[in-house]
A and B are shown apart, each in its own frame.
Chain A
Amino acid sequence: QSVLTQPPSVSAAPGQTVTISCSGSSSNIGINYVSWYQQLPGTAPKLLIYDNNKRPSGIPDRFSGSKSGTSVTLGITGLQTGDEADYYCGTWDNSLSAEVFGGGTKLTVL
């Protein structure tokens, strides 16, 4: 059971927009900044979003992040088949003194 809660799967057609939610509590998302990671099949995770809504160099602006209270959302616009991957949210938990992740969401581009 993950500390952060994500939907197991989401799907959408190419070109459409999808959102992935991640919910936590006051000891993690509620007070700290969240990052998102994309894990393509058979590869290591890759940083997609940090500090809730910032994109590292090289990440297209089709990817965005937002935060409200104890939840965050990853948005992906203009879906491409190459976006099919598992997506994880992560943040520091002040009560556990540990980094925690969501269980991951599998994105299928139909």
Chain B
Amino acid sequence: QVQLQESGPGLVKPSQTLSLTCTVSGGPMYSGTYYWNWIRQPAGKGLEWIGRAYISGSTNYNPSLKSRVTISVDTSKNQFSLKLSSVTAADTAVYYCARGYPSYYGAGSYSFYFEDWGQGTLVTVSS
């Protein structure tokens, strides 16, 4: 079974760029049809999907964060990364990376679920 591990700074200053990396082990990222996702969770709150990337380079982002987010995949390192610019205290959260499995059933009907998750990493935005 694939394992995911987030890494990156735990403290970021306001207005700067948050950068995280997710390292995938247990299998090559190019194997299978998966999307590579970032999801975050502020303390005591629910889950918020940030966005996803496919190995082809195609991406989808949460409209509420789209202007500040970049997700990229590096299959040579079996990693994918998140960059979130112009951060504020509202971006303080536990950030999870997750492997997502997509299916299309026709007539606009999709299935997309998160099979595997990293343990999460807390990122605090503070000066």
Interface residues of A (CB under 8 A from B): 2, 31-33, 35, 37, 43-47, 50-51, 56, 88, 90-92, 94, 96-104
A-B contact count (CB 8 A): 78
Residues of A within 8 A of B63 (CB): 96-98
Q: Which of B87-127 contact A (CB under 8 A)?
A: 96, 100-101, 103, 105, 107-120
A108 vs B116: C-alpha distance in the bound complex, in angstroms?
25
B108 → chain A closest CB, angstroms: 6
Given A90-B47, A101-B49, A104-B46, decide whether A31 and B113 contact each other with a Cβ distance below 8 A.
no
Does the CB pair A47–B47 fall under 8 Å?
A: no
Task: Tell me what chain B mostly uses at the interface: helix, strand, loop, or mixed.
Answer: strand
B62 beta carbon closer than 8 Å to chain A? yes
Does the CB pair B109–A32 fall under 8 Å?
A: yes
- Place the interface of chain B in its size category: 20 to 34
Interface residues of B (CB under 8 A from A): 37, 46-49, 52, 60-63, 96, 100-101, 103, 105, 107-120
Q: What 7 A-B pairs come out closest when comparing CB atoms?
A: A33-B111, A35-B113, A99-B49, A50-B113, A44-B117, A101-B47, A104-B46
A28 vs B33: C-alpha distance in the bound complex, in angstroms?
22
Known pairs A51-B113, A97-B63 / 5 extra A-B pairs, C-beta < 8 Å: A33-B113, A37-B114, A92-B112, A98-B61, A99-B62
